[in-house]
Amino acid sequence: MGTWREWTEADAARWVAAPDGEDDKYRRGVLGVMTGSIEYPGAAVLGVEAAHRTGVGMVRYSGPRSVRSVVLARRPETVTMPGRVQAWLLGSGIDAGHRPFILSGDLQHALASGVPVVLDAGGLDLVGTHTAPTVITPHARELTGLLLSRDIECTLEEVEADPAAWAERAAAELQVAVLLKGAVTHVCDPDGARFTVTASTHWLASAGTGDVLGGILGALVATHHDRFEAEPWAITRLAATAAWVHSEAARIASEAWEGGPVLALDVADHVPVVIGRLLRG
Ligand SMILES: NC(=O)C1=CN([C@@H]2O[C@H](COP(=O)(O)OP(=O)(O)OC[C@H]3O[C@@H](n4cnc5c(N)ncnc54)[C@H](O)[C@@H]3O)[C@@H](O)[C@H]2O)[C@@H](O)CC1
Ligand SMILES: Nc1ncnc2c1ncn2[C@@H]1O[C@H](COP(=O)(O)OP(=O)(O)O)[C@@H](O)[C@H]1O
């Protein structure tokens, strides 16, 4: 097994970017988001909110009409017209077992577009159906299910007992970057990068915080789209940075409540403070 290194604030600071005078919304990067469903509309709201808060040129959301309405009610900045994107966030709040026919087609179309992809939750099973730079963001139960579906024998207990080894195994077998969520998040890729992010607070263990992480990561990938050609390994560093920003936002949010509980939207709300501090150095 390789050597794992804790991702630091100084590392994260190298992977956040502010716009300059040459930028416009398209040059900064457009994130396409296909998340949420009638069953889980909240996941779409959380991911879109987090992406906006991370700082991206535009978020294009695609999903069921009723979900579009709740996304727009929270964030009218979101564009729901189809168009070009520089990165995709796919799968949060989608049930892979009950994907409508049209959604399956839209997901395949997104994957075939060739831009970097963040695959979460109900999009995880699509890994390997495309060649674009990809990071998958499972928790232990999801990783177990994914590996079993590829005929790799494992149990949830085994994955939970040794997340580092199973994250490495998944990266090697699936040939993508892996961000395995938990109290310690393991981020690795088939090229040997291995980073941990130790959560600042266990209040993060609540519904929807993973959807927020997906939004942060999607936005970071979209805003660094021009780096991928020269640095194909960028997606692994961006994933570690997203986990670090997420953890730090949760810490600041909890401190604002005297160490009290943090909800997923609180995490998203505190992302700009973290990005601002990283940029200021
Ligand atoms: N507000 C929202 O819309 C949210 C949507 N979410 C979405 O919900 C979907 C399912 O995500 P999960 O992380 O829950 O998937 P899991 O694979 O963890 O769980 C799948 C199912 O297993 C059952 N289960 C597992 N452990 C259980 C336990 N200890 N007690 C009771 N039931 C248990 C639950 O019925 C659950 O629905 C994903 O698409 C995710 O993105 C979640 O992120 C939570 C928030
Ligand atoms: N015990 C814990 N302590 C700290 N952070 C945790 C703990 N358990 C999970 N997390 C973090 O909380 C988030 C949960 O994501 P996920 O499991 O996808 O939840 P959801 O599907 O409800 O959004 C991840 O970022 C994970 O790293």
Say what the ipTM of the complex is. Answer: 0.95
> Is the separation of the CB atoms in 241 and 11 below 8 Å?
yes
pTM: 0.98
Cβ 84 under 6 angstroms from ligand 2: no
State yes or no: pLDDT of 1 exceeds 70: no
Q: Do 248 and 31 meet the contact criterion of CB atoms below 8 Å apart?
A: no
184 annotated ligand-binding residue: yes
Ligand 2 centre and the CA of 202: distance in Å?
A: 8
Task: Tell whether residue 211 is among the known ligand binding residues.
Answer: yes
Going from the Cα of 141 to the center of ligand 1, the distance in angstroms, rounded, reads 10
* CATH placement of domain 5-280: 3.40.1190.20
36 is in an annotated binding site: no
Cα 24 to ligand 2 centre (Å)? 34
Q: What is the pLDDT of residues 238-261, one digit of tens each?
A: 999 999 999 999 999 999 999 999
Q: In the block, which residue shows the tokens 């070009």?
A: 84
- Which residue minimizes the CA distance to atom 13 of ligand 2? 210
Residue 21 confidence class, pLDDT cut points 50, 70, 90: confident
Query: Taking the domains of the chain in order of start, what are their residue ranges?
Result: 5-280
- Give the Cα separation of 97 and 26 in Å (integer): 35
Q: What is the mean pLDDT of residues 70-85?
A: 97
| Confidence band for 112, pLDDT divided at 50, 70 and 90 | very high
198, β-bridge pairs:
184
Q: What is the pLDDT of residues 124-172, one digit of tens each?
A: 999 998 889 999 999 999 999 999 999 999 999 999 999 999 999 999 9
What lies within 8 Å, CB to CB, of 219 at 6+ separation is 31, 50, 51, 52, 54, 55, 56, 59
